[in-house]
A and B are shown apart, each in its own frame.
Chain A
Amino acid sequence: MSSMLADLNAVYALFLREIKVYFREKERMIAIMVSPLLFLFVVGRGLAGHSPVPGYNYQQFIFPGILCMVILFTSITYGLYIIWDKRLDFLKEVLVAPISRSTLFLGKALGGMVGGTMEAFILLILGAAIILPLGPLKIAGALLLAALFSFLLVNIGLGIGARMNSMEGFGLVMSFLTWPMFFFGGALFDLTQAGKWLRLAAYLDPFTYCVDLMRWMLLGWSVLPAGLDLAAVLFFCAATAVWGIISFGGLQQTR
């Protein structure tokens, strides 16, 4: 049997593990839906800012961005969970297994992708029912994008998690990375109306391209050409995967 085949088997095994665990932790599934709903109903309705997209109100305008937000938070949190694994010895079993670090990384990343996509699915159904009417084709398209974004963002979480040794860093990552990524990403505002510096920050943020592409999918409106967004997302997927695998190369048991 070729080693490549064995590796795919291992990726599948790890992927299966993550899915099983994910569907058993229902509390987490519910808890993660709270903040997007707050954004949709408090910011979306209460603040009711200006929507640059004709025919859609502000709540509908921010819906694709909030959808991406769910993916962002689920994915980064999932990735950082590897810090727990390291401290609780469960990782040791996988580290000593005859699989390469890239196999381990891929299994984890694909497993995490399912979590992010599932959360997006729940919010999509909820949104289609009460906020933004969507056909099955659009929902399917949005799910495909959700899987792609989730992969990208899980990679970032895993890469950081592999380099961190304490859970204290968790809050730091959330404050200094996740929230800024969300706010600069243009989920809540129209990038074309933003100031120069804000725009510059937005274009450096991988999340911006996710939001823009999702908006194109659901509203048919985007700041950048959709093809450019997609190219950017694919580039970031590849770059973060490479970076994540390198981070996993240095992974050791911590005490």
Chain B
Amino acid sequence: MSDFQAAIQTEGLTKRFGGIIAVDGIDLAIREGEVFALLGPNGAGKTTFISMLCTLVKPSSGTARVAGHDIVSQSLAVRKNIGIVFQEPSVDDLLSGRENLQLHSMLYGVPRREIHGRIDAMLAIVGLSDRADGLVRTYSGGMRRRLEIARGLIHEPRILFLDEPTLGLDPASRRAVWGYLRDLRKRAGTTIILTTHYMEEADSLSERVAIIDHGRIRELGTPDELKRKVGGDVVLLKGDVGPEAFAGLEFVKEAVREDGSLRLTVADASRHLKALIDRCPVIEEVQVRRVTLEDVFLKFTGRQIRDEDGGADTIFQRIAVSRNTR
């Protein structure tokens, strides 16, 4: 096994579908043992990017090495080192949950003696122990996702890709999954790359975040670095007031209207709050909060990520459709 610094290294990685550029020349290095989040709206190219790294989709140009192996010429070696949790459900409908895990363990060469114990442990973590022997066909959407996660983790890969891992999960299961991922990283040093819609997920799990939009990386850094780039705290004002009221105040970095209120980015808000309020003729409500990744996202893509949410619904509609047509 070669000794390598970067778990993943891409150079000008590009994918075109006809005239559309889904991934546009991404250069990225992810360290071994790092937890890395790709944040972006639907259609930003996250899934395509990950699919190339997992050798499911061939790049149009550029190269990438995963665990030291070229994704095109050494795809089998790449696949031996990775695990993936797909965004779309890919668990086998016609098998039970336990059988899905068993098949997967055998395909990934988990030692025969360990398979049984690992399956039980994983089922417990994702809370499926009591339904393990039911056919996946009878599972709810959330249960499928949890099984999918269990499957991606059971062979303890060196590099783990998670494409929207907690989409459609209830908050309790989501936290359970996060807990397990943190533990896995600490215990086994697994490199984790996840794409997500959920700011909280990116913020609390990952060491570095890349904001990706239109197939390019817009911004890259630790959550704190990114938040600092927004340049202050957020003040939301509700009332009869427009952005022009704050002209000339150097600590107001930005003022934009948003759903009937005014949103200001203010350096050191607690100190300047009085000055702000003094400028408002009529005011109904004031909210001051720390910058979140949500604000970072808004700043660098000009969009709010929660506008895109609703993917949860479509995923389950898809399951329903696929079941009917089968």
Contact = CB atoms under 8 A, between A and B. Distances in A.
A252 B106 contact: no
20 contacts: A1-B109, A9-B109, A12-B106, A13-B103, A14-B107, A17-B95, A20-B99, A24-B135, A84-B326, A89-B90, A90-B90, A92-B56, A93-B92, A93-B104, A93-B151, A97-B108, A98-B76, A98-B79, A99-B79, A252-B56
A10 B326 contact: no
Given A89-B89, A89-B90, A98-B80, A9 B56 contact: no
Nearest to A97: B107
A13 B107 contact: yes
A93 B91 contact: yes
A253 B107 contact: no
B106 A10 contact: yes
A28 to B, nearest CB: 11
A6 interface: yes
Contacts of A20: 94-95, 99
A92 B161 CA distance: 14
Interface of B: 51, 54-58, 76, 79-80, 82, 84, 86, 88-95, 99, 102-104, 106-109, 135, 151, 322, 326
Interface residues of A, number: 29
Contacts of A97: 79, 104, 107-108
Contacts of A6: 109
A25 B234 CA distance: 58
A16 interface: yes
A94 B55 CA distance: 12
Nearest to B54: A96
Contact of B57 (A16, A87, A252): A252
A94 B107 CA distance: 8
B97 to A, nearest CB: 13
Contact of B90 (A9, A14, A92): A92
